[in-house]
């Protein structure tokens, strides 16, 4: 039987409890879950890709089913590279679904062997977005209740 490898792509700038909620709820559905940190030349991230990979490595250091890696280019091409037949996407709002469905349809047209799964956000994490966390952080606010401990520790070290 083929291994069920899933890719959870995103920018994760920074990692939030919303991201880890989706990962933690989905990980038992697959044999391996790869968190793919996309490098998008059109976006200027607040945190380096190395930092984002390191956060996931720290958060999931005791879970061998979960790995993190950076990638550039088409998500379906990275799926082929890592042997993933599934893509996982988290959905917070109806508007997220419309946008994500368009991407899933395009990915399916590019590679019929890749299937996208959508997982809705838990109620307590539905309003969490990296953009909002960055805004609070940039304005000196405390984001520790919105991010995993490893991320909060980095913020404390760098932002006081």
Known catalytic residue: 92? yes
CB 32 within 8 A of CB 3: yes
131 annotated ligand binder:
yes
Residue 12 counted as an annotated binding residue: yes
128 is in an annotated binding site: yes
- DSSP string across 78-145: HHHHHT--EEEEEE-SHHHHHHHHHHHHHHHHH-TT-EEEEEEPPGGGTT--HHHHHHHHHTT---TT
Find residue 115's DSSP bridge partners.
86
> Could you say which of 43, 61, 80, 138 is catalytic?
43
Is 138 a known ligand-binding residue? Answer: no
Contact indicator for 76, 116 with CB cutoff of 8 Å: no
Q: Is 115 annotated as a binding residue?
A: no
Q: Per the annotation, does 100 bind a ligand?
A: yes
129 in a labelled binding site: yes
3-state secondary structure of 7: strand
Residue 145 appears among annotated catalytic residues: no
Establish whether 158 is a catalytic residue. Answer: no
43 is annotated as an active-site residue: yes
Q: Which of these is catalytic: 25, 92, 108, 134?
A: 92
126 is in an annotated binding site: yes
Enzyme catalytic residues: 19, 43, 92, 130
**Binding-site residue positions for ATP:** 11-12, 19, 90-92, 100, 125-131
Known binding-site positions for substrate: 11, 43, 75, 89
Residues in binding site: 11-12, 19, 43, 75, 89-92, 100, 125-131
């Amino acid at each position: 039987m083929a291994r069920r490898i899933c890719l959870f792509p995103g920018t994760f700038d920074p990692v939030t409890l919303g991201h880890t909620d989706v990962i933690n709820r989905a990980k038992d559905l697959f044999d391996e879950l790869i968190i793919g940190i996309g490098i998008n030349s059109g976006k200027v991230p607040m945190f380096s890709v190395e930092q984002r990979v390191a956060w996931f490595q720290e958060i999931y250091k005791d879970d061998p089913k979960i790995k993190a890696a950076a990638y550039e280019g088409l998500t379906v091409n990275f799926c082929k590279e890592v042997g993933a037949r599934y893509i996982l996407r988290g959905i917070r709002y109806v508007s997220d679904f419309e946008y994500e469905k368009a991407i899933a349809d395009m990915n399916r047209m590019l590679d019929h062997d890749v299937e996208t799964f959508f997982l809705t956000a838990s109620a307590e994490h539905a309003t969490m977005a990296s953009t909002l966390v960055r805004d609070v952080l940039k304005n000196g606010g405390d984001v520790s209740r919105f991010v995993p401990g490893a991320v909060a520790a980095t913020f404390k070290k760098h932002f006081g």
